[in-house]
A and B are shown apart, each in its own frame.
Chain A
Amino acid sequence: MTVLAKKMPAGEFTRKELMVVALARQVSDGMVCIAGTGLPLVGVTLAKLTHAPNSIIISETGIIDGRLEHLPTGVSDTRFAYRASVWWPRYRYCGFLMKMPDKIDLGFLGGAQIDPYGNLNSTCIGDYYRPKARFTGSGGANGIATNLNTVIIMQHEKRRFVEKVDYLTSPGWLGGPEGRRKAGLPENKGPVAVITTLGVMRFHPRTGRMYLGEYYQGVTPQEVIDHTGFSIDVSEAVEMEQPEASAIQLLRQKIDRDRIYI
């Protein structure tokens, strides 16, 4: 992100595109990332084609370092594995995740609800046994949240940013800095950022609670407070740098030219 890069004027890109750019900025060159399909994959692909050409994408189906030319519609799509290094049997991926979590820098997750500590629900709304709405369930998210630093993608709405999630699918910082140790989880891993439709949230190391790091142009910190169902610190918030025009162009003309996700 050089100062010379041409910035896109506000109003000429969508919120989804902005989220993808914010997501891509979490990936620095050489990082190894687990990304499912959808916006995370679009974001990591954008990073790979711009500032992080040596980053590596892993799919929970066991695909390591695909050189994607066409966006896959799912994690088992052969498009995800184009020119990949390996496509393992599934148990090998599980072993890799458990045995060598330090080889993986980031995992990307999404969910229906999130609490102040980044605990995530992708299972159901309402009672688990007779839910109002049921979703896919964990997928690979539980294992990723257990073993890795994560970046979470969310729609920023009050009903989704809640004091307590209806079902805790993927552990974040649990109840605070001691939470993971007490539960028997690796202590030094957990959620590092939440990319939302309003900005980028981060977590205070001392409390494990979410705070507003950056908000998009046209969004105010008050708007973030209004759309969050728990108290959120906005005192350190700054406006996010606008996306580069070239990044938006790449997204539209190359990465998601079929408009599957953006």
Chain B
Amino acid sequence: MASLVMTCREAVQKFVHDGDTIAIGGFTTNRKPYALIREIIRQGKKDLYLESSGAGGETDLLIGAGRVRLIVNAYLSDGAFNKIGRRFRMAIEGGEIEFEDFSLDVQPLRFHAAALGLPFIPVRHLLLGSDLEAKWGIARERYELDPKLPPAKFLIRENPFTPGENLVYLPAPKIDLALIHVQKASPDGTARIEGPEFIDPDIAMAARKVIVSCEELVDPEELRREPWNNQIPCLIPSAVVHLPYGAHPSQCVNYYDYDPELFYLYDRSCRSNDTYQGFLSEYIYSLPDHQGYIEKISPERLHGLKVGEKNYLENLSRGNGV
């Protein structure tokens, strides 16, 4: 089987296009494909649409770097490190991006529908009575006219099998590209997520193209010994990129804990445009690639985040005083 392995630069050049609708795996501070995001920013990709659920600093970075045109959002936070993505917040307050609001229940269901090839998924009760129902972030006409968007935010229709009962019909998103960081992948595209899957297998199946980055690039035979532990089959990815610490500063189960120091540094840098541009320059633009990033953060410090049996560091300093 042909190898899908390429460098981060090649994968992003080849499979990320201006205007793409992107779905990002992981959840807030866990297994986020940060290295892929940093390369997308480095290469100047822009006008992106994001189908987002459980977004964190990686999405805030894309917005802050001015690469996002529209975000379908449910949540954007780095938890206690950065409670509300500051650049997301500023972009909406400044009228710089288009946005739509859903909840963390609706978005995974929409991704699941898309992964099953369904045009929509009907649900009971969700959104009703709230402004998620009453106020559409994206205007109805915009939904109808932009082929990149689903035909509507949702429709309320009677259940055809139970007359009298209304259901909320959620159209499946149209996803061009999924970005997923996994623990192990092999050159044939087989990928294994160790730890929580979140939405990742669904967005992999929903997207037209998938870039998988991995902590370890392993022989296919290693993953094929236990195929039931693999979530993404060899047929799906477009590219496999070997990026150890590719989820830094977020957590990666069986590999490393999150890096509070970097999250707080990012949070502080967000407060003025000067410091923010400084952060982007120091941690993205001035570095040639992910190897440059690892050297910048320092291999020793990254090694210090390595987890053991508990899958987190008991004595990691996490207070706000860092």
Contact = CB atoms under 8 A, between A and B. Distances in A.
Contacts of B198: 61, 76, 89-90
B279 interface: no
Contacts of B76: 136-137
A186 B125 contact: yes
Contacts of B208: none
A146 interface: yes
A6 interface: no
A230 interface: no
Nearest to B80: A73
B81 interface: yes
A138 to B, nearest CB: 4
B202 A169 contact: no
B27 A61 contact: yes
A77 interface: yes
A89 B78 contact: no
Interface string A11-27: 00000000000000000
B104 A183 contact: no
Given A89-B197, A90-B198, A184-B166, A97 B105 contact: yes
Given A74-B29, A140-B104, A134 B93 contact: yes
| Among B135, B257, B260, residue most surrounded by chain A Cβ atoms (within 10 Å) | B135
Given A62-B196, A73-B29, A139 B129 contact: no
A185 interface: yes
Interface stretch (A124-132, A199-207, A237-245): A124-132
Chain A interface: which size bin?
35 or more
A72 interface: yes
Interface in B93-147: 93, 95, 101-106, 108-109, 111-112, 123-132, 134-135, 137
B303 interface: no
Nearest to A101: B125
Contacts of A98: 105, 123-126
What bracket does the count of chain B residues touching chain A fall in? 35 or more
B79 A72 contact: yes
Among the interface residues A75, A138, A147, A184, which one has the most CB atoms of the partner chain B within 10 A? A138
A138 B103 contact: yes
Contacts of B78: 74
A142 B318 contact: no
Contacts of A133: 89, 93
B103 A131 contact: no
A70 B26 CA distance: 21
Nearest to A92: B108
A120 to B, nearest CB: 9
A165 to B, nearest CB: 8
B92 interface: yes
A174 to B, nearest CB: 5
Contacts of A260: 80, 318-320
A78 interface: yes
A168 B28 contact: no
Nearest to A170: B130
B79 A135 contact: no
Interface in A150-191: 167-171, 174, 179-180, 183-186
B75 interface: yes
A138 B74 contact: yes
B30 interface: yes
B199 interface: yes
B186 to A, nearest CB: 22
A143 B126 contact: yes
Interface string B225-267: 0000000000000000000000000010100011010000000
Interface of B: 26-30, 53-54, 73-81, 83-85, 88-89, 92-93, 95, 101-106, 108-109, 111-112, 123-132, 134-135, 137, 166, 195-199, 201-202, 251, 253, 257-258, 260, 307, 310-312, 314, 318-320
